[in-house]
Amino acid sequence: MSTTAFKSLSTAMFKGFVRDKMSLFFMFFFPLMFLVVFGLLLGDSGEDKIKIAVTGDGPVVAALDQTGAVEIQRFDDERAALAKVEDGDLPAAIILRGNAIQLRFAASDQVAAGTVNGLVSGVVDKLNLSATGQPAAFSLQQQPVEDASLKPIQYLTPGILSWGISISAVFGAALTMVSWRKKQVLRRIRLAPVSAFTVLTSRLTVSVGIAIVQAITFVLVALTPPFGLKLSGSWYLALPLLVLGTLAFFAIGMLVGAFCKTEEAASGAANILVMPMSFLSGSFFPIENAPGWLQAVSQALPLRHMNDGMLDVLVRGKGIEALLLPCSVLIAFTAVVGFAAAKIFRWED
Amino acid sequence: MTDAVVVTDIRKSYGDLNAVDGVSFTVAEGEFFGILGPNGAGKTTTLEIVEGLREPDSGTVELLGVNPWPRNPELLPRVGVQLQASSFFERLTAREQLETFGSLYGVGTAKAGEMLELVGLTDKADVQENKLSGGQRQRLSIACALVHDPDVVFLDEPTAALDPQARRNLWDVLRAIQARGKTIVYTTHYLDEAEILCDRVAIMDRGKVLALDSPAALVRGLDAPTRILLQPGALPLDTARELEGVDTAAEDEVSLTISTRKPARVLSTLAERGTLDGLQVRTATLEDVFLDHTGREYRA
Ligand SMILES: Nc1ncnc2c1ncn2[C@@H]1O[C@H](COP(=O)(O)OP(=O)(O)O)[C@@H](O)[C@H]1O
Ligand SMILES: [Mg+2]
């Protein structure tokens, strides 16, 4: 492989990318915009807590507050508190009269009702137990696995970053390939003493470079106070995922580019692939709540594994063993799709 | 002199269409060789087979002594190609295009400046390719074909779709390249242009070579009469017919046309009589050669 040819081809492709304001916006700033908008919309995790109306005070209220799972709204008037629940504004109200504790809840919201009932009875049982002065027969240790319940920005950053990289890699590869074939640049390059391998790796290098710049930008933005991302100590393990993910999406882009004759067809096909994939892979919303069969489908997608891996190493603080599955899937995916793309590759129309 | 290109009976068909139907020719080193013909004649297909971009169905090609098919990386540095569609890298300036193409051949960036100078684009060095005029793009495209100093240069319709001024500028570039000792094989559908530029031409139509020689020899070989045009009424038609050496004479509203195979004799007689008003002399052209071979008027 000729290194001067490699360097100058990479430079040419990189300049072509940054000078095209449209694709620079679409492939780079558009995903970043998603991160900013979603990050601001979903805000911090305070929004996720269950709000409970409370009248009166006592150790039960203090203990509930300490669980960190509920947000307590105090009312002086019992009727006002109950009205809130009846109107559906709040899922439950606790009315304290001395040691008599009354919990009134809206049964219509079963999930919230169950949570509140569980929480309140748990707290009351615990207080009752300690009031008897008896040692507990069973001991329970509770510890979160993450440093906080996952705030939206904590899963949005890895998810939207992976999605952004999938966009830049798929579109970048597909559009370069189609336009170079259409403008006969590929044929012209074929008449020069450079190998197809050099051409391919230089374009791939540009994609990996763009992905790294994307990762740095996304993470830096997410770290700023309005978003408040907290990176885990093992964030650097994201690098292999970044490279392998780019490779997998690059391969998809090559496949799209090999199929499509025009840039319009290529961006259409790339969109049809990337958009559903990003939803199914949980780039914007956690996929855990989706039906089982949908989750099974999502396991077949490279973006899902890139998301999971990124989430594990960027915010969950998992170690190198967390890379095993995502990296293997991405490598396998690259091999299969890349092979197919190479099979149907054409130098000219 | 050795031959840079030897093509023997190449054929290429697409379905029922014989795009190239038994073409043979040789191009000597240092020669300016033109492949002429109307659109669809098979010029591009022929050229691309010789360049090694397409495989002929049958026949042989020797380019600088070797077979260009399959792709031969050792041959490529000695060959420069301008494709019919000007193929540039997206959004690079003229200088960057030359530097990038040069680097594919291991040529240093200094060469770019020299090439820009050769094709007269020095003041456009930092302009992006898509903002150049048609003529400037063609010149840049030729410069890109030359940047690695090849021995043989293939140019596919470099002057197509250019205005007359841009075409003439390009002729100067082509002559400058030939002066550097390069072998040039170029295609065009402008027969008049080829007559001016080329040492030898092959006139193609429907995949076949109709005629192959220097333009002058082809025209001479026609044995076509020279036509002398005068103002109508410059002399009586009967007198004109009886002048020595005149084959035929005819008159219409525009001109009195005299056909002759002895133009020198007729012209001196006319001069003696002082009847040279509105004189034009038309000798046969390559278009007449085309007409002679095909029975059709030449239409590019
Ligand atoms: N790849 C191809 N597939 C099918 N037909 C082709 C192809 N390339 C050229 N042809 C046909 O072959 C004929 C000669 O084409 P071409 O060599 O491009 O002519 P020219 O360059 O003289 O205009 C045309 O009729 C053209 O349509
Ligand atoms: Mg052509």
Tens of pLDDT, residues B178-204: 999 999 999 999 999 999 999 999 999
Return the ligand 1 atom nearest residue B37 CA: 22
Q: How far, CA to CA in Å, does B159 sit from each of A8, B47, B172? A: 30, 16, 12
Tens of pLDDT, residues B164-181: 888 898 999 999 999 999
Distance CA B13, CA A264 (A): 31
Q: Which is higher by pLDDT, B146 or B278?
A: B146
Q: Are A153 and A39 in contact (CB under 8 A)?
A: yes
Count, residues in chain A: 349
User: All domains of chain B, ordered by start, with CATH?
Assistant: 3-86+147-216 (3.40.50.300), 225-283 (3.30.70)
Q: How much is the pLDDT for A99? A: 81
Tens of pLDDT, residues B213-238: 999 999 988 888 889 999 988 888 89
Q: How far, CA to CA in Å, does A311 sit from each of A243, A280, A304, A315, B141? A: 16, 16, 10, 6, 49
How much is the ipTM here? Answer: 0.87
Over 80: is that where the pLDDT of B63 sits? yes
Task: Kindly report the protein residue whose alpha carbon is nearest to atom 1 of ligand 1.
Answer: B14
Ligand 2 centroid distance, CA of B84 (Å): 6
Angle, in degrees to the nearest 10, between helices A302-314 and A152-182: 140
Interface probe with A: pick from B14, B49, B87, B142, most Cβ of A within 10 Å: B87
Return the beta strands (E) in chain A as ranges: 50-55, 70-74, 92-97, 100-105
Cβ–Cβ gap A188/B83 under 8 Å: yes
Which one, of B57, B53, B83, lies nearest residue B68 by Cα?
A: B53
Give, for ligand 1, the residue of B16, B43, B44, B298 to mutate: max count of ligand atoms closer than 8 Å to Cβ: B44
Cβ–Cβ gap A4/B106 under 8 Å: yes
User: All domains of chain A, ordered by start, with CATH?
Assistant: 3-43+151-344 (no CATH), 46-132 (3.40.190.10)
Ligand 2 centroid distance, CA of B87 (Å): 15
Count, residues in chain B: 300
Interface probe with A: pick from B81, B100, B141, B144, most Cβ of A within 10 Å: B100
Return the beta strands (E) in A48-186 as ranges: 50-55, 70-74, 92-97, 100-105
Find the Cα–Cα–Cα–Cα dihedral B112, B116, B119, B121, rounded to 10°.
150
Kindly list the averaged pLDDT for each block of 10 residues, start to end, along chain A of length 349. 88 94 92 92 66 85 79 86 84 85 84 83 83 78 57 90 97 95 94 93 96 97 91 94 98 96 96 94 86 91 96 93 96 97 91
Tens of pLDDT, residues B104-122: 999 999 999 999 999 999 9
Give the burial string for A314-335 (b: 16+ CB within 10 Å, else e).
bbbbbeeebbeebbebbeebbe
Cβ–Cβ gap B92/A184 under 8 Å: no
DSSP 8-state secondary structure symbol assigned to residue A136: P
Angle, in degrees to the nearest 10, between helices A152-182 and A30-42: 160
Ligand 1 centroid distance, CA of B300 (Å): 15
Return the beta strands (E) in A20-179 as ranges: 50-55, 70-74, 92-97, 100-105
pTM strictly above 0.80? yes
Q: How much is the pLDDT for A218? A: 96
Pocket lining for ligand 1, CB < 6 angstroms: B 14, 17, 19, 37, 39-45
